[in-house]
Structure 1
Amino acid sequence: MPKGAMGSPRGKFPRVARVNSLLREVIAEELERLVDADDRLSLLTVTAVEVDPDLRNAKVYFAELPNAAHGALESHRSDLQSRIARQVRMSRTPHLAFVSDPALAAGLRVEEIIRKIAAEEGSASKVDPV
């Protein structure tokens, strides 16, 4: 049976998913190394990587607390791609596009709504105890 056939462990985990996982790990490690040079990256977390099926492009999703990290990521893109090329054996290194992960913003919005509701219920209970 050839390598990567369904009977092997690789056949159970698709190629794109393996590449996504590997790139997320490598990018996160390299960003840790870059924090010393650029403190805008200090409160940044790589949440996911999605590579196109042809492996030419990759979206790197990140969560950040201050909004300065996106510019820092863009300024380090070519360096990150070079580092990926040295560490990951691929015929071509995907072009990286950085996308702010909407899950963090959505979570913060939900938290804000819950606080407003709690504050309204707290002020309503002071006026009319039930």
Structure 2
Amino acid sequence: MRKNSIKNTRVNVEVQHELANLIREGIKDPRIHPMTSVTAVEVAPDLKTCRAYISVMGNEEAKNNTIVGLKSAEGYIRRQLAKNINLRNTPEIRFILDESIEYGVAMSKLIDEVTGKEEVQEDGENNQ
């Protein structure tokens, strides 16, 4: 895997920032859940393609509807990106559902449950 250059990293950050603003303020599609965030963006070095990782806090139906809504608004989003960011090429955006945040929350809950049980057992042993 190729290491990102400074220029590519800056482009990724700028595209992520603009995508987040567009999703939050620019798109009025009711299918897009209000708790939608852009967790990461990977723009190819040739600026032709872009993978946008989207996190949605909601149920499965809300996640699927949000991805469908974003895919249908892809042309508008790309046009707005071209208007707001001065790039040689405006990348073709592919939206990917990112469930890493929910996975992390679930793991954190499991860890808390295990450590909570261990603390209860230790307290019980100390009292005896």
Indicate which of 11, 24, 43 corresponds to 1:32: 24
Q: Distance in 2 between matches of 1:115 and 1:40?
A: 32
1:77 counterpart residue number = 74
**One-letter identity of the residue aligned with 1:98:** F
Q: Deviations over 1:7-57 (max 9, x none)?
A: xxxxxx721111111111111111122354436331011122111111111
Contact 1:47 1:63 in 2 (8 A): yes
Which structure has the greater CA radius of gyration?
1
Q: Distance in 1 between matches of 2:113 and 2:68?
A: 32
After TM superposition, list the pairs within 5 Å mapping 1:16-31 onto structure 2.
Answer: 16-31=8-23
1:52 counterpart residue number = 44
Deviation at 1:62, TM superposition (A): 2.1
* Cα RMSD, aligned residues only: 2.5
Q: TM-score, normalised by structure 2?
A: 0.73
2:110 counterpart residue number = 113
**Which deviates further from its counterpart, 82-91 or 68-77?**
68-77
Q: Which has the higher contact order (CA 8 A, sep 6+)?
A: 2
Q: Distance in 1 between matches of 2:32 and 2:113?
A: 31
Contact 1:43 1:64 in 2 (8 A): yes
Q: Distance in 2 between matches of 1:23 and 1:15?
A: 12
Deviation at 1:116, TM superposition (A): 3.4
Q: Distance in 2 between matches of 1:15 and 1:60?
A: 18
Between the aligned residues of both structures, percent identity stands at 21
> Which runs of 5 or more structure 1 residues have no equivalent in the other structure?
1-12
2:86 matched to 1:89?
yes
1:99 counterpart residue number = 96
